[in-house]
Every structure is written in C-alpha cells, then in structure tokens.
Amino acid sequence: MTIASAPGKVILFGEHAVVSGVAALGAAIDLRVVAKVEDAPGKLEIEVPNLNLNVKGFALDALKKEILSTKICEDAFQATKYVSTVLQKFDVRNVKVVVESEIPPSSGLGSSASVVVASLASINFHLGLGLSIDELAKEAYKIEKEVQQGLGSPTDTALATYGGYQMVREKAESIELPELKLIVGYTGVPHNTRLEVEKVQNFRESCPQIVDPIFQAMGEISRSSLNCIREQKLNKLGELMNANHGLLEALGVGTKELSELVYASRGAGNARGAKLTGAGGGGCMVAIPSPEYDGVIKAMTSIVQAGGKAFLVTTGCEGVKIEH
C-alpha cells in the first residue's frame, strides 16, 4: 500500500490579470489531498469517501439534506473522473485508489489539481512508473486540462507538486519565500472558473482602456507583495490585499458573500487585510490575521459569524510527498 499527499493552493495576488500576462503569486497551503493505492487483483476501484463537504456545519446538513447529498455525489463524481483519467492514461489495473481531501471542492483552492497530483504520485510510486517530479507535474497538468476540457492552469498542478510559492507570468516558476499564517474563508458558494474568466476577458475586450490599467495596478501589487512576504511586513501586505480585492471587485468577480466575509474579517476579525482569492463569483477569500493567538481566533470567528467556513492555513508548505 502506498499513501501520497498533495497540498491545495491559494492565489495571493494577481488572479485574472495573469490571463493577460501580468505576474500573479500563488502559494501551496497545508490543506491536503491524500491518495491511497493498494493492490486489488482483478479489480480497478476508486473510492472517494471524504471531500470535506460539511461546508456549513450541521445546520445545513440537517436543513438541506437533499442539496448537500446531491453536492456530495456531484463533487465525488468529479474527483472520481480525475482519478480514472489518471488510471486510464497509465493503463493501470488491479488496484484500489482511495482519495480523501481536506480541501472543499469547487472553492478555488485547487482541489482537483491536488487530487490528480496525489493519485498520480501514489500510483507512480506503487507501480514503479519511474516518473520524475517534473514529469509528474507535467502529466498532472495534461490530465487536469483534459478533464476540464481545455481550461486548467499549470499553476495549480505546479503548486500541488512542488509546494512553496509560484510566481506566474506566462509560465509558473518557483520562488523562495517564507511561510505565512493565513485564514481562508469559504463562502460555501461553488463557482465556475471558466465563467468568471470569460466575464473578465469580455470586459477587457470591450473596455481595454479601463481594464488594462487595472491589470497594471494588479501586477504592481504582486511585485510589491514579494518584499512584504520576505520581510514579513504584514500590515503593508494586508493593505496590498485590500487594494487587490477592490480591483477584483472592479473587474466584476466580487459577490455579496465574499464581500461579507472580507469586511467581517477586516472589522470584527481585526485582520490586517483581506481579499477574495482565485476566480471569484463564489469560492474563497483570504485574510491576514493579527499574528497573536487571539488575532487568529478573532479572524476565524468573524468569518464563521458572517456565514463562512474558516481554515487556518500555512502558505508555502511542502509539495507532493509519499507518506507511506
């Protein structure tokens, strides 16, 4: 039996602008997908028992049982599709793959990339396929792109594979930066990345004189953020997050729910800054909490009280690894 795990990701700065060649900064986070492969002679089974789907706690579970269980099925089905594409691609037989995830699906935290990377790494090790880490990243990206019918971004699979931070312009490149404590707030609203990306690109086509300077400001924020993370200037980093959030709102990818979590964390949560992360239109936001224990609790509580689910994560964590 082999167990491999891969981290999720957040985009810290520059989402959307990156589609037009502006620098974005992504970070691996220590919410992980675990893929277990064991021999199963004559069989080929995939099991997805846990995808961290109790996104709103017991209340929603009890009140909207039907919706929640539909959701489980759909997301579990989606995860199964990624794993089965991995198995097909490498003509794998006689195994059982079990995937569990700490990353809420369809939330913009890269769960599908992590599912692909973790299951591919586990199979690679278990069956001795001999893929190097770079080959693993490349194959995982191909598979994610195939299942998502051409969408997918090399950033997600790169972060799931290498961990740490990735600076993305036309391609993703690893960049050395220290860890950050971050609160991720999930609105519970799944989003459609393709839709949000198209919306922004359409806006850009119809109004380049408005959107291009917005992208320019975003690129500058991404660049400025590197030094803040390096020197742990958290107040300044928070200000950059606030500015970047406004620019994403200007592009039309903000939502009421995201805004509520963002303002809750900045206000009652005493965070140094907050922004939506990823494509927007739902999904997650991130906040830099005041660093002491109280600050972290306050930021998390504020997000939960505003109707979200809160995770304390460390950015820049380890990439894919064989756990067993």
Which residues are catalytic, by number?
A: 156
Pick the closest to residue 43 from 97, 98, 93 (CA basis).
Answer: 93
The least distance separating its own copies from the CB of residue 112, rounded to whole angstroms, comes to 28
DSSP at 49: E
The least distance separating its own copies from the CB of residue 230, rounded to whole angstroms, comes to 17
The least distance separating its own copies from the CB of residue 223, rounded to whole angstroms, comes to 9
Distance, in Å, from the CA atom of 120 to the CA atom of 125, rounded to the nearest integer, reads 9
Q: Is 243 or 312 the residue whose CB approaches its own copies more closely?
A: 243
Q: Report yes or no: 101 and 115 within 8 Å, Cβ to Cβ.
A: yes
- Judged by the rule CB under 8 A, the positions of this chain that interact with its own copies are 203, 207, 209-211, 213-214, 216-217, 220-221, 224, 239, 242-252, 254-256, 259-260, 263-264, 267
Q: Report yes or no: 299 and 287 within 8 Å, Cβ to Cβ.
A: yes
Q: E strands along 14-138, which residues?
A: 24-39, 44-50, 95-101
**For residue 7, which phi and psi values (nearest 5 degrees)?**
-85, 160
Q: Is 163 or 254 the residue whose CB approaches its own copies more closely?
A: 254
Q: Report yes or no: 272 and 235 within 8 Å, Cβ to Cβ.
A: yes
The least distance separating its own copies from the CB of residue 33, rounded to whole angstroms, comes to 33
Distance, in Å, from the CA atom of 140 to the CA atom of 156, rounded to the nearest integer, reads 10
Distance, in Å, from the CA atom of 86 to the CA atom of 92, rounded to the nearest integer, reads 8
The least distance separating its own copies from the CB of residue 247, rounded to whole angstroms, comes to 5
Q: Is 228 or 313 the residue whose CB approaches its own copies more closely?
A: 228
Distance, in Å, from the CA atom of 79 to the CA atom of 117, rounded to the nearest integer, reads 12
How do strand 44-50 and strand 95-101 relate by DSSP bridges?
parallel
Q: Kindly state the tokens that stand for 37.
A: 């492969």
Q: Is 164 or 273 the residue whose CB approaches its own copies more closely?
A: 273
Distance, in Å, from the CA atom of 124 to the CA atom of 121, rounded to the nearest integer, reads 5
The least distance separating its own copies from the CB of residue 235, rounded to whole angstroms, comes to 12
The single residue listed with the structure tokens 């590197």 is: 226
Q: Is 217 or 312 the residue whose CB approaches its own copies more closely?
A: 217
Q: Report yes or no: 40 and 184 within 8 Å, Cβ to Cβ.
A: no
DSSP at 250: H
Q: Is 224 or 314 the residue whose CB approaches its own copies more closely?
A: 224
